Amino acid sequence: MAAVFQTEGEGLRQRNKPITALSEEDARQKVLELNALEENNITEGRERKTFGRTPNGTVFTVPQTHDMVSQLLSPYEPKNLSDLLVISLLASLILLLWKLPSGWRQPVFACMFLLWRVAYNVGIGFLLHQQSQYKLLTRQASLLKIFNDPSTGDNPRPWLFRFLKREFERKIPKDYDMTKAPLEYNTWLLFRRFVDVILLCDFVSYCCFAIACAHSPEESWLLFCVRWSAGICLFMFNLWVKLDAHRVVKDYAWYWGDFFFLIDQDLTFDGVFEMAPHPMYSIGYAGFYGISLMTASYKVLYISVVAHAMQFAFLALVESPHIERTYSSPPPRLLNNDSVGTVGGPNASIDSGNGAADLKSTPNNLPPPTHNLLGWGNIDLHRSVDLTVFILYVLIVALTTLTPNTPLIQALFVVNAAIWRLWYSVGLGYILNRQSAKKKWTRHFLKYGEGVLEAWRQWKGIYHISMMMCYASFSAAAWKMYSLPSDWNTGLTLLRHILGIAAVALQLWVAFSIYDQLGEFGWFFGDFFFDQQPKLTYGGIYRFLNNPERVLGLAGVWGLALITLSRSIFGLALLSHLLSLAFIQFVERPHMQKLYGTSLRQDAGLVKTLRRTLPPPVRELQEGIDKVLGSGFDYVEEILDATKPKVASGVNHVLEDTMGLLHKYPGKLHRSRFDSGSVDIDTRNYSLSIDGTVRETQDSSDEEQAGKVRPLVLEYGAPIVVRWTAPPNHSKLDWVGLYRVSDNPVKEATHFSSAGRWIATNPGEFGTAVSEVGLVSSDVKSTRVNEATGQPEEVLTGEMQFMGDKLFWTQGTFEFRYHHNGKHTVMATSIPFEVRIPRWNAGGSSGTEEGKYDVEEDSDELDWFGLPAQSQALIRNSIEKALLPIIQNCFDRDPDIAPSTAQEPFGGLVGRDRKYATRAVYAIKEMFGIEFAAEVIKADGKIENLAWRIWEAKRVLAPYSMKGSRGVSTPVEGEIGA
Predicted structure pTM score:
0.77
The CA distances from residue 502 to 58, 508, 669, in Å, are 47, 10, 42
Q: Give me the DSSP letters along 110-156.
A: HHHHHHHHHIIIIIIHHHHHHHHHH-HHHHHHHHHTTTS-GGGT--S
Which is nearest to 39 in space by CA: 49, 29, 31, 30?
A: 49
User: From the centroid of its chain, how far is CA 55?
Assistant: 22
Q: How far apart are CA 209 and CA 227, in angstroms?
A: 19
Burial class (CB in 10 A: 0-12, 13-18, 19+), 923: buried
Amino acid 797 reads: T
Q: How far apart are CA 531 and CA 565, in angstroms?
A: 46
Q: How far apart are CA 469 and CA 466, in angstroms?
A: 5
Query: Does residue 110 contact residue 192 with C-beta atoms inside 8 Å?
Result: no
Which is nearest to 884 in space by CA: 721, 714, 698, 715?
A: 715
Question: Which pLDDT score, from 0 to 100, does residue 42 have?
Answer: 61
Kindly give the parts of the chain with pLDDT less than 50. 1-15, 337-364, 644-672, 705-706, 845-857, 960-978
Q: What is the dihedral of CA 552, 556, 557, 559, to 10 degrees?
A: 110
Q: How far apart are CA 491 and CA 223, in angstroms?
A: 12
- What's the number of CA atoms in the CB half-sphere (13 Å) around residue 5? 12
Q: How far apart are CA 461 and CA 463, in angstroms?
A: 6
The CA distances from residue 330 to 31, 242, 327, 506, in Å, are 22, 32, 10, 31
Query: Does residue 516 contact residue 470 with C-beta atoms inside 8 Å?
Result: no
Q: How far apart are CA 712 and CA 700, in angstroms?
A: 9
Q: How far apart are CA 368 and CA 382, in angstroms?
A: 20
Question: Which pLDDT score, from 0 to 100, does residue 932 have?
Answer: 85
Query: Does residue 502 contact residue 304 with C-beta atoms inside 8 Å?
Result: no
Which is nearest to 231 in space by CA: 292, 190, 170?
A: 292
The CA distances from residue 85 to 53, 81, 89, 420, 953, in Å, are 32, 6, 6, 63, 70
Q: How far apart are CA 689 and CA 831, in angstroms?
A: 8
Question: Which pLDDT score, from 0 to 100, does residue 269 have?
Answer: 60
456-489 residues labelled b (16+ CB within 10 A) or e (exposed): bbebbbbbbbbbbbbbbbbbbbbbbbeeeeeeee
Query: Does residue 19 contact residue 2 with C-beta atoms inside 8 Å?
Result: yes
Which residues have a Cβ under 8 Å from the Cβ of 864 and sit 6 or more positions away?
Answer: 954, 955, 958
Domains and CATH numbers, the chain: 8-60 (no CATH), 66-147+160-327 (no CATH), 349-643 (no CATH), 676-835 (2.60.40.2840), 859-956 (1.10.1200.10)
Query: Does residue 413 contact residue 477 with C-beta atoms inside 8 Å?
Result: yes
Which residues have a Cβ under 8 Å from the Cβ of 192 and sit 6 or more positions away?
Answer: 251, 255
The CA distances from residue 640 to 426, 439, 585, 630, 643, in Å, are 15, 21, 12, 15, 5
Q: How far apart are CA 897 and CA 930, in angstroms?
A: 24
Q: How far apart are CA 44 and CA 25, in angstroms?
A: 33
- Residue 58 has phi, psi (to 5 degrees) of -80, 125
DSSP-derived 3-state class of residue 963: coil
* pLDDT tens digit sequence for 630-660: 555 555 555 655 554 444 434 334 333 433 3
Helix locations, 546-652, DSSP H:
555-564, 567-583, 589-596, 605-613, 616-643
Q: How far apart are CA 753 and CA 766, in angstroms?
A: 17
Q: How far apart are CA 317 and CA 659, in angstroms?
A: 11
* pLDDT tens digit sequence for 857-883: 455 555 555 567 777 788 888 999 999
Q: Give, for 690, the enclosing helix (H) or strand (E).
A: strand 687-692
